[in-house]
Amino acid sequence: MKAVIMAGGKGTRLRPLTSHTPKPMVPLLNRPCMEYTIDLLKKHGITEIAVTLQYLPDVIRNTFGDGSHYGVSLVYFEETTPLGTAGSVKNCADFLDERFIVISGDTLTDIHLSDAIRFHDQNNALATLILTKVESPLEFGVVMTDESGRINRFVEKPSWAEVFSDTVNTGMYVCEPEVLSYIAEDREVDFSKEVFPLFLQEGQPLYGYSAEGYWSDIGSLEVYRQAQFDLLDGRVNLEIKAQEIAPRIFLENHVRIDSSVRLEGPVYISENVHLQKGVAVGPYSVLGSNTTVATGTKLAQTIVWENTVIGKKAEINGSTLCRNIRIGESVLLGEGAAIGDQCRIGSKSVVKAGVKIWPDKEVEESATVHTSLIYGTKQTKNLFGTNGIKGIGNVEITTEFVTRLAAAYAYLLKPGSRIALSACSHPFAQLLKHSMMTSLCSSGVDTVDFGMGNAPLMRYGVRGLQCIGGIHLYMAEPLEEKEVVIQFIDHAGLPISRDLERKIENAYWQETYVRSLHHLGELHVEHHVQDAYLRAMAEHIDVARIQRQRFHLLIDCEPRFLPTFLAPFFQALGITVVYGPIQEGVSKNGADLGIRLDKNAEQFSLFTEQGQKLSTEQLLALQLLACSGHHQRIGLPVSAPMELEHLAQLLQIEVVRTKVAPRSMMEVSVDERFHPMFDAVYSLMRILSYLAREEKPLSVLLELLPACHMERKTVFCPWSSKGKVMRKVLEENKGKMLELVDGIKVYDVNGWVLILPDTEESHVKVISQGATAETAATLASSYARRIAEYQ
């Protein structure tokens, strides 16, 4: 049996560690990560190994050579262009003339490969994925198998709503040579995105082996550090090549330690390290070869690569230092700091927590470094949430932040691309818009300023002016919280895909920008989007009927933009409007309807002439009725009641069940100029058209709507337990009718319940429908209890 070690990764999320070092070569206890992979293969009798290379290939070749020093035979295959995971393996086709295992050179694992190979053989599998359980599956592929281990579903890099299990693909595969015939030559092909889905589609024997043992994907600085802590703690069943002179204190050869030095385990000290008088080395410190630590210095949870000199009386806590670094006297390095190769940190300087300094930089004496040099630090969570990017104005969302964000976005666009921008009427939102505009233009991207607006206007304008995308900013409600929301729109007027969000996040974290004086973008101002939007809307409603009805409305909305924007339109339709809070009473004002428009004009609440507020389900049903004859296809979220699907069928509207995310619902009717579920003004106009046609007050029409009994609960659930909870829900409900469009929807004789992990908070949402209100409440409470117990 042969093996393929995937060793082409750049490790961009590990920078500055990987600026001069391929990801498989980052040291773990003074040995390259890939060396542990070679040792594991050799331990299981696999010694003929192909190594795929791309980024800094000579570093790997020069270190491992032909493999004879490690007791194996290595053959290298270099990619001149990225080929993807499967394409890389195809590139080794001449070598792979028998069964082979694919394994990553940048993961740390002690998984028993022979057991996985035996499982593969017993099931006559074409390919077997080695699986493991993790706390947070978002960066991996979630895999589901039947009782025999045959794979029936997997989702690559899921959102929390798609996390059906905490069992993930490790990227290790046992394959028959026939797998290569499914991979095209000389082009980028991915196992999890293309090859394995094809196997599922064709019914090929694709299996998943759930492995015990340790597995860590060295994908971030935090995970890189933790992997070494786990090695020191003995959690990984791999050899530590050093002498254990005391419990969990490991020393290599030729170490010079002054008698006054204090060592507190677990620690690892490599060969030719010199610890001078009064040095204190605290737990979870790793010192690479030829490191010198001068008198009086204190280290704790500090990882140092080779050939580094640390001056007197320095204090370094929780930092990572690469090669050939010089740290001056009395330097203070904060927790989470990372210093690249060949840096010089001057005496008495301070590098604050979380700061990253790229290679070959110099920090002057007595300087304080608050922010990363050249490249920024990775955020602790994703920039994007369910509805764009949110943060406190002038605290989290600043002009500096949006300038960098726009530059990251521009990096992904072709020069000369045209991007639309708009903002709500708040002065700070307008200020942020101009900062983004400047950043985009300086990056060679043309911008179109729509002025004041909202999300539906932005969506309409992007499509009408054939822009490649758009950005809208607004201050969320309530205004006292000062929360800013930034929404990115694609060329079709939809919220951008999660894939593009990830690319923007990566470009932002790496500060990968492109700016040139020779390619500046142009700035255009577009004044007519609002008029065009309202004219087009008038073509989609029954203007004459609405005019005859002479509606009188009470509207509660933000006071700066919407009343001015809507006034001419309402006047042309013969609608009189009172603007004010709904609390003052719809009936008191003699209004036919009460409407509370949200700040961004995407959602609204509706009140009858008697002041009764419509439930979420009632409003959805009314929107469906109002769409009849005008919209042939509507996306309804899996959380919507079944009665709405039946109502849509009666109205001859095709319903597609979607995820709860706005983009998923909008994609179903992407060709529509207005989306009734995410354009409050358009939806209101359609409802007024419907009421004018029926010539009945809303309170009467409500009695004709289907009755729905729903219950909603929110259960606290730590991020680390969400995957486990979803797996337990699946295991407990095996054999029942399940729907896995978004979260896990379990059907019951009494109704259904939807388990949906929150994408932004430490919560799991429980939504249920029952034949009665009591049934719905019982279902929701039952699952809420179970979720708490699973944790």
DSSP codes, 482-507: -EEEEEEEETTSSBPPHHHHHHHHHH
* Residue 571 burial by Cβ neighbours in a 10 Å radius (0-12, 13-18, 19+): exposed
**Are both 590 and 625 inside the same structural domain?**
yes
Candidate ranges 60-64, 385-389, 470-474, 676-680; pick with highest mean pLDDT:
470-474
CA pair distance 239, 449, nearest whole angstrom: 61
pLDDT greater than 50 at residue 381: no
**Residue 746 to residue 730: CA distance in whole angstroms:** 9
Q: Would residue 224 count as lying in a domain?
A: no
Per-residue model confidence as pLDDT tens digits over 111-156: 999 999 999 999 999 999 999 888 776 666 788 888 888 988 877 6
Say if residue 606 is in the same domain as residue 591.
yes
Residue 205 has pLDDT above 90, yes or no: yes
pLDDT in tens, 765-777: 999 999 899 999 9
Instruction: Quickly list H helices, 677-718.
Output: 680-694, 698-702
Q: What is the pTM of this model?
A: 0.63
| Domain final position from 320, 345, 369 | 369
* CATH number of the structural domain spanning residue 156: 3.90.550.10
ω before 16 within 30° of 0 (cis)? yes
Q: Which residue from 517, 521, 511, 523 is spatially nearest to 405, judged by alpha carbons?
A: 511
pLDDT in tens, 607-634: 999 888 999 899 999 999 988 877 788 9
Q: Does 671 share its domain with 714?
A: no
**What local confidence, expressed as pLDDT, does residue 378 receive?**
34
Residue 442 in domain: yes
Q: From the centroid of its chain, how far is CA 10?
A: 19
Residue 593: pLDDT over 80:
yes
Residue 706 per-residue DSSP state: P
Does 375 reside within a domain?
A: no
Q: Which residues contact 583 (CB under 8 A, 6 or more apart)?
A: none
Q: Are residues 515 and 542 in the same domain?
A: no
- Is residue 148 a part of any domain in this protein? yes
| pLDDT surpasses 80 at 517 | no
State the CATH number of the domain containing residue 717.
Answer: 3.30.310.50
Region of residue 714 (phi > 0: left; psi between -120 and 50: alpha; otherwise: beta): beta
Contact (CB, 8 A) for 484 and 475: yes
* Structure confidence at residue 168 (pLDDT): 85
Domain identity same for 665 and 753? no
Quick one: which H or E segment has residue 769?
A: strand 763-770
Q: What's the whole-number mean pLDDT along residues 41-68?
A: 92
- β-sheet bridge partners, residue 82: none
Residues sharing a CB contact under 8 Å with residue 380, sequence separation 6 or more, in sequence order: none
Whether 223 maps to a domain, the answer reads no
Cα 755 to Cα 734: distance, rounded to the nearest angstrom: 15
Residues 6 or more apart whose Cβ sits within 8 Å of residue 295: 276, 277, 278, 279, 312, 313
229 in a structural domain = no
Whether residues 659 and 686 fall in one domain: yes
Question: Minimal CA–CA distance to 420: which of 523, 507, 351?
Answer: 523
Which amino acid, 244? Answer: E
Residues in the chain: 791
**Which of 527, 551, 572 delimits the end of a domain?**
527
The answer on pLDDT for 75 being more than 90 is: yes
Identify whether residues 433 and 331 lie together within a single domain.
Answer: no
Environment class of residue 778 by beta-carbon count within 10 Å: exposed (0-12), middle (13-18) or buried (19+)? middle
Return the CA Rg of the chain: 30
Please name which of 514, 531, 408, 402 lies closest in space to residue 461, comparing C-alpha atoms. 531
228 in a structural domain: no
Among candidate residues 369, 403, 435, the one where a domain is terminated? 369
**Do 63 and 138 lie in a common domain?**
yes
Give the domain CATH number at 444.
Answer: 3.40.120.10
The burial class, CB within 10 Å (0-12 / 13-18 / 19+), for 581 is exposed
Residue in 196, 171, 50, 19 with CA at minimum distance from that of residue 106: 171
Instruction: With respect to residue 377, please indicate whether it lies within any of the assigned structural domains.
Output: no
Helices (H), 447-593: 455-464, 498-510, 529-538, 543-549, 562-572
Q: 724 and 651, same structural domain?
A: no
**Residues 479 and 580 both lie in one domain:** no
DSSP state letter for 397: B
Task: Indicate which CATH number applies to the domain containing 309.
Answer: 2.160.10.10
Q: What is the pLDDT of residue 163?
A: 64
Number of domain units in the chain: 5
Structure tokens that stand for 170 in this block: 């490790």
**What mean pLDDT do residues 63-69 have?**
92
Q: Which DSSP letter does residue 313 get?
A: T
Range of the domain at 390: 384-527
pLDDT confidence band for 165 (50 / 70 / 90): low
Interstrand relation of 744-748 and 738-739 (parallel, antiparallel or unpaired): antiparallel
Shared domain check, 489 and 449: yes
**Residue 523 shares a structural domain with residue 537:** no
